[in-house]
Amino acid sequence: MSLFEPRTPVYSGEGDELKKVEKLLHDHQIDYKLKAGSTGTLVMVKRGRADEAEMEIREAKARNWLW
């Protein structure tokens, strides 16, 4: 197992939307880390789970759950 696992940003935002994205990823058991960015807080996930995380966020957005 490597000590460094590359992560990919899947969302950038703040406030209530960020909290909802965190809950969504937690509910789907997707490990994430937060990192301060110039456009808001970045949600970073392991590269292998990025597609799944982006899909879950898109589906939640389509159902108007996030926005």
Whether pLDDT at 2 is above 60: no
Hey, where are the domains in the chain? Answer: 7-62
Band of residue 67 on the pLDDT scale cut at 50, 70, 90: low
Cβ partners under 8 Å of residue 64, min gap 6: none
Is residue 51 a contact partner of residue 45, using CB atoms and an 8 Å limit? no
Neighbour tally for 11: CB within 10 Å:
21
Per-residue pLDDT tens over the stretch 3-44: 577 899 999 999 999 999 999 999 999 999 999 988 889 999
Question: Could you confirm whether domain 7-62 is CATH 3.30.70.1530?
Answer: yes
